[in-house]
Structure 1
């Protein structure tokens, strides 16, 4: 940015001012973007600081305020995203271990931050539209949709709604799911920034300031008003559920070769639980739940048969199931105490580089754990996602699938009265990954109006009420079990009835806003060019 000086006096040597390479305002904006991004990270579990998220977006909005150039705003949005994703995804370091180094963690964080950069650039197009903060929120949340598709089949970790497992915005999930919660959070932050800027400029309550104030308050009021409508009582009776956490060694990716340990630990903890049931220490469950990949099923399994028969009630067994061609599917199997294994659900949304390897030829060049004998798992087709077991219909989604909208929605639409989430987070050490994932299940509970039971290999296992409250939970890397009664519910939320239309409707609005912003910018530039031409002619 060049500095303009007055004409020098006659005879005075002229020394043109040198432009400042790093203007202070630019540095302040960059610093504010980084601080806001880190504050956004702090709003996520395990910290109950849900209210930090709208404040973080207010900071981002103030950074972007007045920006007209796409690439400048892109840079600030990218900085915000990088300061958010780098700390959020540090669990990748625990998962991959020192052999990989920091590059996968850095690469994924950079790739995801590009979406935030694009959001910052596009927000410059809609900022001058009427209700600019709302359009900005729509644009920001709309970019979470392609992030669920790309890269590597999608990685929706860190969606705005996942910062809200409690607090004022959570009830909105029952109306419009994660997308509506996201728009409410970002819209509140952007509205707060607009209100602060208006009051600073005029120092009085003008009409634009009133509109900004309304945009800030309405999402909060709407969320709080919906709290009494969140049903938690049983509508088709109750069910006593037991979930078994056998524990695992904290060795990251090396756990791949310790599947026998997972099986032994799960069976040992199940036997301890069975003894407690027989002695009356805990109630007899109506359903027993094992975590993801607790065992491998290649044929008849007398040991599991005998254990389930000992409980005398059905079990949902998380298992790696061997197909006739030798490939494996990450599955949940209904195990009857008399007839043994029955219906089976296979995980649809596999974890890239964990359960399958995209771009295998390239990955083999940089990954020490791949060779020609490493075989990808086979994804399921959605069959048996809701299964009849223990006198009710139970919907299942496995681990990583909690981050996606469709599995839980499909299960409830198919009649699920209870949701269960078998998971294996033992790969990720004592990081925040397990509690981040539990926050997703808490959101899903409200979104679908169902109790959710999370069964983890090494924690955190939990029983979640339909209002997102955790009624009981375990610690990390401990052998433990939970037994609790959960309500069986049949009512379908508006979010489930609307389905994906909410997400795609908000996406369509965002696209329309960007198109409108482009038209407005084109007309403004043409009008400015016409005015300049007229002045030149005069």
Structure 2
């Protein structure tokens, strides 16, 4: 019998073609994206993240790279369009949809990676199925690493870990940072998918040469161990440190006259609101209704009048600081350098006022935002983007800060991460490495109205608290503000667009978590796994195609020799 007549090797039916027909896969891809968005606040149904990932994993099985990317685009848009809706609340649909489309196209890359991961897992009759959780998780981490760095220094909003602030899996942040939490979500979803497929296969009946695999016991063990490990981690704290030191913090949410892009049109009113909130606190302390505080924190843009050049603004800030008898750290927009402006945090002391501005930021009470936001704090390619939105000319370019700065105030070493800097792994970590035992995220949410942006950002601060084992004061000018414990939990939260003051004792910690020590190493390692997967699959495919071509050529030669 010739080679052409030999029976083809048996390929399991569920591997030879997609599990989900395209008529179902198209709407399902969009729905899975919407489900992933619902895992984030304000819905906050974090378990839906596992469902969404499991669905797109199933959609990728048995499909080619190009087809998988098409479904990935539907998934990415289904997630990013609602996730980033806040970005267009005052600037219109075009900038919002442009950003959502770009981020969706980048997120879509995970599905071709999933398709390749399935091909590896399904080899040898499925004996490599155990590799799927690792390779799928690595692919997701690689995708988020790209989105967080490119283009325009990246935009990591919507990273999977930020949906897990209330999940038992958040403890992974202390071990390997935000990337490891995302890896854990995808890996656990993949374990669930493998288990379902195994049960399905067993119900149909095992075939010769296809032994029962241990995926089901594995997922059961994982589901039992993860909550226990989470509880242990939440109580463990950081490495080699005492955890009983506290300071009493006041976070002042002053509110703004009106929401929108022109929230600071009445800049003096915004400053006065924060001065008034601090004076009211001082009056309660003097009356014995409130205990004295060690430090006071105002949000980003609390003073858009530069107090270093405007004596009236400086006088008002000094009046509030003297009254409360505690140092005040406030967000201010400063004029300069040159034609630029600077988004900064300034430290004001009672009686002596501003500590002074020099190159030595840490000693003199000055921190400038390092990671400035494209299209909000500077406009790249301004002439080009002016064609799409007239709002680009309303943005004056900010000058970025050049380094971390830890500010000593009231017995605490405070490390600020201004607004969107909380998304940036490196900025937050640098503040901790510089010695911060308390993190503060001052932010301005007035430009996003009543959208979910404010609670999504608070969730990021909660994950950062677990990641670095630090208390975080998340203070917004309009809300939602909260004092976050090192385990990510919060007490009372402020309401949107209402003046409020949060006062409580917060814990100081000086040790370092494994995530703080390792930095980007887990992300780089997992990204390397994903790249090796893709390259390895490419090499194997080329060799297999070459071998098949050679075998076909040999069969043609045999047939030609048999011709008379």
Distance, in Å, in 2 between the alignment partners of 1:281 and 1:479 is 19
Q: Do the aligned partners of residues 291 and 234 (structure 1) sit closer, same or farther apart at CA in structure 2, a change above 3 Å counting?
A: farther
- Equivalence for 2:281: 273
Q: Do the aligned partners of residues 116 and 496 (structure 1) sit closer, same or farther apart at CA in structure 2, a change above 3 Å counting?
A: same
Normalised by the length of structure 1, the TM-score is: 0.90
C-alpha deviations, 1:196-220, integer Å up to 9, x for none?
Answer: 1232233268756424652685387
Distance, in Å, in 1 between the alignment partners of 2:242 and 2:211 is 47
- Equivalence for 2:250: 242
- The answer as to 2:33 corresponding to 1:37 is yes
- What is the CA-CA distance between 1:529 and the residue it aligns to? 2.9
- The answer as to 2:47 corresponding to 1:56 is no
- Equivalence for 1:472: 492
> Which one of the candidate residues 97, 108, 120 is aligned to 1:117?
108
- What is the CA-CA distance between 1:502 and the residue it aligns to? 1.5
Distance, in Å, in 2 between the alignment partners of 1:503 and 1:266 is 40
The alignment partner of 2:498 has SS state of coil
The alignment partner of 1:127 has SS state of helix
Equivalent residues in 2 for 1:96-135, closer than 5 Å: 96=91, 101-129=92-120, 130=128, 131-135=131-135
Distance, in Å, in 1 between the alignment partners of 2:221 and 2:268 is 54
- What is the CA-CA distance between 1:415 and the residue it aligns to? 1.4
- Equivalence for 1:218: 222
Name which of structure 1's ranges 170-179 and 514-523 shifts more when overlaid on structure 2.
514-523
- Equivalence for 1:304: 317
The alignment partner of 1:378 has SS state of coil
Structure 1 stretches of 5 or more lacking a match?
1-23
The alignment partner of 1:440 has SS state of helix
Name which of structure 1's ranges 391-400 and 324-333 shifts more when overlaid on structure 2.
324-333
Q: Do the aligned partners of residues 211 and 526 (structure 1) sit closer, same or farther apart at CA in structure 2, a change above 3 Å counting?
A: farther
Distance, in Å, in 1 between the alignment partners of 2:407 and 2:211 is 55
- Equivalence for 1:320: 333
Distance, in Å, in 2 between the alignment partners of 1:74 and 1:216 is 32
Equivalent residues in 2 for 1:13-24, closer than 5 Å: none
Structure 2 stretches of 5 or more lacking a match?
1-19, 121-127, 356-364, 560-564
> Which one of the candidate residues 372, 375, 385 is aligned to 1:353?
375
After the TM superposition, which segments of 4 or more aligned residues of structure 1 sit over 6 Å from their partners?
Answer: none
- Equivalence for 2:302: 294
Q: Do the aligned partners of residues 199 and 338 (structure 1) sit closer, same or farther apart at CA in structure 2, a change above 3 Å counting?
A: same
Distance, in Å, in 1 between the alignment partners of 2:407 and 2:281 is 24
- What is the CA-CA distance between 1:244 and the residue it aligns to? 0.3
The alignment partner of 1:481 has SS state of strand
Q: Do the aligned partners of residues 445 and 207 (structure 1) sit closer, same or farther apart at CA in structure 2, a change above 3 Å counting?
A: farther
> Which one of the candidate residues 358, 369, 376 is aligned to 2:391?
369
Distance, in Å, in 2 between the alignment partners of 1:493 and 1:517 is 36
Q: Do the aligned partners of residues 220 and 436 (structure 1) sit closer, same or farther apart at CA in structure 2, a change above 3 Å counting?
A: farther
Distance, in Å, in 2 between the alignment partners of 1:526 and 1:116 is 33
Distance, in Å, in 1 between the alignment partners of 2:461 and 2:220 is 27
- The answer as to 2:386 corresponding to 1:391 is no
- Equivalence for 1:461: 481
- Equivalence for 2:23: 27
Q: Do the aligned partners of residues 208 and 428 (structure 1) sit closer, same or farther apart at CA in structure 2, a change above 3 Å counting?
A: farther
Q: Does structure 1 conserve the Cα–Cα contact (< 8 Å) formed by 2:417 and 2:441?
A: yes
Q: Do the aligned partners of residues 207 and 328 (structure 1) sit closer, same or farther apart at CA in structure 2, a change above 3 Å counting?
A: farther
- The answer as to 2:66 corresponding to 1:71 is yes
Q: Do the aligned partners of residues 349 and 237 (structure 1) sit closer, same or farther apart at CA in structure 2, a change above 3 Å counting?
A: same
- The answer as to 2:326 corresponding to 1:335 is no
C-alpha deviations, 1:49-78, integer Å up to 9, x for none?
Answer: 2111111111111111111x2110001111
Distance, in Å, in 2 between the alignment partners of 1:102 and 1:456 is 25
- What is the CA-CA distance between 1:249 and the residue it aligns to? 3.8
Distance, in Å, in 2 between the alignment partners of 1:416 and 1:514 is 40
- What is the CA-CA distance between 1:277 and the residue it aligns to? 1.9
Q: Does structure 1 conserve the Cα–Cα contact (< 8 Å) formed by 2:50 and 2:189?
A: yes
> Which one of the candidate residues 83, 86, 104 is aligned to 1:88?
83
C-alpha deviations, 1:203-243, integer Å up to 9, x for none?
Answer: 26875642465268538734631421334696261000000
- What is the CA-CA distance between 1:193 and the residue it aligns to? 1.5
Distance, in Å, in 2 between the alignment partners of 1:256 and 1:483 is 26
Name which of structure 1's ranges 441-450 and 127-136 shifts more when overlaid on structure 2.
127-136
Name which of structure 1's ranges 451-460 and 222-231 shifts more when overlaid on structure 2.
222-231
Distance, in Å, in 1 between the alignment partners of 2:201 and 2:554 is 32
Distance, in Å, in 1 between the alignment partners of 2:483 and 2:73 is 37
Distance, in Å, in 1 between the alignment partners of 2:272 and 2:339 is 23
- What is the CA-CA distance between 1:534 and the residue it aligns to? 4.2
Name which of structure 1's ranges 271-280 and 138-147 shifts more when overlaid on structure 2.
271-280
Normalised by the length of structure 2, the TM-score is: 0.86
Q: Does structure 2 conserve the Cα–Cα contact (< 8 Å) formed by 1:170 and 1:223?
A: no
Distance, in Å, in 2 between the alignment partners of 1:534 and 1:199 is 42
The alignment partner of 1:473 has SS state of coil
- Equivalence for 1:11: none
Distance, in Å, in 2 between the alignment partners of 1:535 and 1:317 is 79
Distance, in Å, in 1 between the alignment partners of 2:221 and 2:371 is 37
- What is the CA-CA distance between 1:366 and the residue it aligns to? 3.0
